[in-house]
Structure 1
């Protein structure tokens, strides 16, 4: 039993190491990972060596580590096979054509929103900077929308952590954010104004499955001038139609 628990602990810590890499921290050394994760350097080194042999971690000439090509291969399979993305993609293309704004689809993952797709796609291969990207819940419309529909314990866990101010309008006060989440559940949509990027606003609504559970968030993004109140109401009418179309596709899949 003790060996089994040790094995599970090692698996858990290996996953923690992989999750620590991000756009902000793509390359890290053993000491930095040790400090971030509160693990012994010897433990971090051992786990990195194992992950490296599996192709999930690469070591560069400066003895720093980054995610390896194995992660890309696994992620690409998950990306292509994600049911929600596959079933919703043609619908999102239609929405983008009609509404003429940037359209995104995101899911919730442990305190963050993860983009499944962005339309229009960026030129060349830069689309990968959006698809698969994790963004904080407190500063994005999709994040707030998805967090609002998590259970109380998960909301408490996320709001108990420090929240970074990305712009001068980012809300970092937990009590204020909690009020916003309550309001989102009442009106069934979320709006952010310059909270993640200056002069940029976003509007997000839920996407439901056949059991009326929120499984994703659909959002549009544009300049502040494009998101005056009467335009928001117009956008909502159109977005709700397309959200229902996605839900119907998920029902057909079942």
Structure 2
């Protein structure tokens, strides 16, 4: 029981998408034991697998326990927040984690084609959510090769640093045909239980239909990021 509780605490501390290997290391439980207990916790609903099956997140029954303990409305899950947002927009919407200084997909829009996390990781300077990572995790700039993906990709170091300064100042990242011709994206930071930026919420669509000057869309993203605070 103590090990099971330690694993729940590890997922809550490390964030949604944490892997079995990371949980085992954090709790100092042998990997084989950790894998077995994680499967039990998933089967009982205390944990849930992330959509790409590579990691874990807190499950429905954990939220129910939190509700019973606080006697307040239960906190919505990541999936519930994003499902509600997707019902209000025609654009693609996805959520990425920055924990550990690496991009990891938490929730990918099933109805829209999105750029894979591995592609963004290789070319973060060309993606809205990748620019967020570079702005809030500047060490990721070390040894970054500024490859050109389209004619619009920022490949000048000074121009990129100026862009990242704007991202920090506005807490808004914009990409216009920098990773793919005909595609644009907006992204805003998502914070943990404290003030640390732990991920990015991104909306993508056809170039010309997304703009950082669209107050309604930017407000929509920021409201979603507020709801996701502490869940990633």
Give the one of 169, 189, 198 matched to 2:152.
169
Residue 17 (structure 1) aligns with: none
1:9-64 deviations in Å (ceiling 9; x for gaps): xxxxxxxxxxxxxxxxxxxxxxxxxxxxxxxxxxxxxxxxxxxxxxxxxxxxxxxx
Structure 1 position 211 matched with structure 2 position 194: yes
SS of the aligned residue for 2:54 comes to helix
Structure 1 position 148 matched with structure 2 position 144: no
SS of the aligned residue for 1:225 comes to coil
Deviation at 1:241, TM superposition (A): 1.0
RMSD in angstroms over aligned alpha carbons?
2.9
Task: Name the TM-score, length of structure 2 as normaliser.
Answer: 0.62
Give the one of 54, 58, 68 matched to 1:78.
54
The structure with the largest alpha-carbon Rg is 1
Residue 164 (structure 2) aligns with: 181
Task: Name the TM-score, length of structure 1 as normaliser.
Answer: 0.57
Structure 1 position 95 matched with structure 2 position 82: no
1:149-183 deviations in Å (ceiling 9; x for gaps): 11x4x0541xx432211111011111111111111
Cα distance in 1 for partners of 2:115, 2:111 equals: 8
Cα distance in 1 for partners of 2:146, 2:100 equals: 14
Larger fraction in helix: 1
Deviation at 1:198, TM superposition (A): 0.5
Cα distance in 2 for partners of 1:137, 1:110 equals: 15
Residue 238 (structure 1) aligns with: 220
Give the one of 104, 110, 113 matched to 1:120.
110
The size of the alignment, in residue pairs, is 165
Deviation at 1:142, TM superposition (A): 0.3
